[in-house]
Amino acid sequence: MPKIALSGRTDVGLKRANNEDTFVVKPELSFCLVADGMGGAAAGELASRIFAETAYELLLSGADKLSEAAIPRMVKTVFVESNQRILDHVQKEPEHSGMGCTAEIMVFFDGGFILGHIGDSRTYRFRNGQLRQLTKDHSLVQNMVDQGMITPEEARVHSHRNVILRAVGIEKQASPDLIKGKTQSGDMYLMCSDGLTDMVEDTLIREVLLNDISLPQKVEGFIELAKLAGGVDNITVVLSQVM
């Protein structure tokens, strides 16, 4: 088992009545996740919880079989199974039509990780003072940036910045990105919902990660920064550090 320190927190923010985000940190299983629900009120909250519960259930049951080669298949299965469970729920409860969630899940093994990503929640790596975004948003404005129609700065304030092109529970097939990487001692990985990244720019994220404070203090700092900037959405932050 790799030695990974994990810390996470979720906050409703300053404008929303309920929190549709969910996070899981399980150092004993070397995995963590963030899911950001959509679909309104109980439906979004339920979708993110279904993803989290499915992931924990599958990773717990398969923990003794999780070789480096098997982890990508397991992560993909988490998305496929939770996608189907959400669709099944909507079929039984049509008033929850449109519910779904964005999701990040990271499973560590000795010397590396597998990251599953869908939607506009994000995962960053902080190594040797350098911050790098590992995921690409599955969003309308990201497509517009890729096509040169708008700049990244314009995307941050665009009126359609919350239009998501991929999510769990919306289509018949879930299509996550699977990212494999090598870890180094001292690496930090930040997973977060857009409640953080819509409010706090990457330069400020890097400053927090540079601070010589504990992981829980860094997590708390991110939450407070997002709230100081307006806290218009739920804010969820998970930090992991390779020991």
Domains of the chain: which residue ranges? 4-134+166-242
CATH superfamily of 4-134+166-242: PPM-type phosphatase domain (3.60.40.10)
Percent of the chain at pLDDT exceeding 70:
99
* Residue 80 binned pLDDT confidence (cut-offs 50, 70, 90): very high
Outline where the chain has alpha helix (H): 41-61, 71-92, 140-146, 152-157, 194-197, 202-210, 215-228
Q: Is the model's pLDDT at 40 over the cut of 80?
A: no
How confident is the model over 144-153, as pLDDT tens digits?
Answer: 999 999 998 8
What's the confidence (pLDDT) of residue 41?
Answer: 60
**Residue whose structure tokens are 């339920």:** 46
- In this prediction the pTM is 0.96
